[in-house]
Amino acid sequence: MSIVENVEKSMQGTVDPAKADLNHHAATIATEHEAHPDHRMFGLIVFLGAESMIFLGLFAAYLTFRVVYPEWPPAGTPERELLLPSINTAILIGSSFVIHNAEADIKNNNVKGLQLWFGATALMGIIFLAGQLYEYLHLEFGLKTNLYASTFYVLTGFHGLHVFLGVCLILAVLWRSLKSAHYSEEHHFGVEAAEIYWHFVDVIWIILFVLLYLL
């Protein structure tokens, strides 16, 4: 064996301790990251629980006003139309079934199906908001007309804000789905989070519709 070969063999067998420690540390971090539990769904549930408490407080206030006041809505409050809110309710309830198809498709690695159903859900949400805006523009009472009018605008407006945020969330998932392999059968938390949030918005509206329009 030549001197050159001996030198090369010696160099190959020599390991830099600092580099070895660095590689070991990087491998340890990677392993810990993979083994770290995913708390994102828990965080989402906590967030929705907090939002539920806010709505619960608003519902309780409305029901308290309804019980305390001798006449509810107060005398002189124009009657509300039921046709448009009923159509809006049907659209929002239907959108929950539509968005559920997206989760089923992404679990089969069907990204195109995800994009189709999320696009349809976003459109239905926008139609709902447009219908609510149309109703506001044609109501015969304003925010300061009486206590009923104030609570009506606060409850429906706060819910409308959540619908708007839900539409933005859905559109964000749609935009990210354009990136190749961003969502797949194994990785689709964003899809699940958007769907759960949208179901939450739907349930809140059903309660509001019963309280404000049917009771």
N- to C-terminal Cα separation, the chain: 97
The b-or-e profile of 64-95 (16+ CB within 10 A means b, else e) is ebeeeeeeebeeebeeeeeeebeebbebbeeb
Quick one: tokens of 124? Answer: 């239905």
pTM equals: 0.80
Q: Are 205 and 158 in contact (CB under 8 A)?
A: no
- The fourth-level CATH superfamily of domain 40-214 is Cytochrome c oxidase, subunit III, four-helix bundle (1.20.120.80)
pLDDT in tens, 149-203: 999 999 999 999 999 999 999 999 999 888 877 777 777 788 899 999 999 999 9
Per-residue pLDDT of the chain (215 residues; tens, 9 = 90+): 554 455 444 444 444 454 444 455 444 544 544 556 778 888 889 999 999 999 999 999 999 999 999 888 888 888 888 999 999 999 999 999 999 998 888 888 888 998 999 999 999 999 999 999 999 999 988 888 899 999 999 999 999 999 999 999 999 999 988 887 777 777 778 889 999 999 999 999 999 999 999 98
| Domain residue spans of the chain | 1-36, 40-214
